[in-house]
A = this chain, B = another copy of it.
Amino acid sequence: MSENELNTEQLILIAARKVFTHKGFDGARMQDIANEAGINKALLHYYFRSKDKLFESIFKDVIKTFFPQIVSVLVADIPLFDKIHRFTESYIDILVKNPDIPVFVFHELSVNPHRLIGNIRETGADIGIIGEQLRKEAEAGNIRPVKPEHFIANLISMCVFPFIARPVLMGIMKMDAQGFDSFIEERKQIVPDDIIRSIKV
Question: Chain A: residues with CB nearer than 8 A to chain B?
Answer: 22-27, 100, 103, 105-107, 109-111, 113, 117, 120-121, 125-127, 147, 149-150, 152-154, 156-158, 160-162, 164-169, 171-173, 183, 186-187, 190-191, 193-195, 197-199
Let me know if B198 and A120 touch, CB within 8 A. Answer: no
Q: A110-B167, A172-B126 are in contact. Are A153 and B147 (CB under 8 A)?
A: no
Q: How far is the CA of A193 from the CA of B191 in the complex (A)?
A: 16
Q: A100-B110, A158-B154 are in contact. Are A120 and B167 (CB under 8 A)?
A: yes
Let me know if A27 and B161 touch, CB within 8 A. Answer: no
Q: Which residues of B contact A194 (CB under 8 A)?
A: 150, 154, 198-199
Nearest B residue to A119 via CB reads: B171
Nearest B residue to A158 via CB reads: B157
Q: A24-B24, A172-B125, A198-B198 are in contact. Are A107 and B109 (CB under 8 A)?
A: no
Q: How far is the CA of A100 from the CA of B109 in the complex (A)?
A: 12
Q: How far is the CA of A16 from the CA of B187 in the complex (A)?
A: 38
Q: How far is the CA of A150 from the CA of B26 in the complex (A)?
A: 34
Let me know if A24 and B171 touch, CB within 8 A. Answer: no
Q: Which residues of B contact A147 (CB under 8 A)?
A: 186, 190
Q: Which residues of B contact A183 (CB under 8 A)?
A: 149-150, 153
**Chain B's nearest CB lies how many Å from the CB of A105?**
8
Let me know if B26 and A187 touch, CB within 8 A. Answer: no
Q: Which residues of B contact A26 (CB under 8 A)?
A: 23-24, 26-27
Let me know if B153 and A162 touch, CB within 8 A. Answer: yes
Contact of A22 among B109, B111, B171 (CB under 8 A): B111
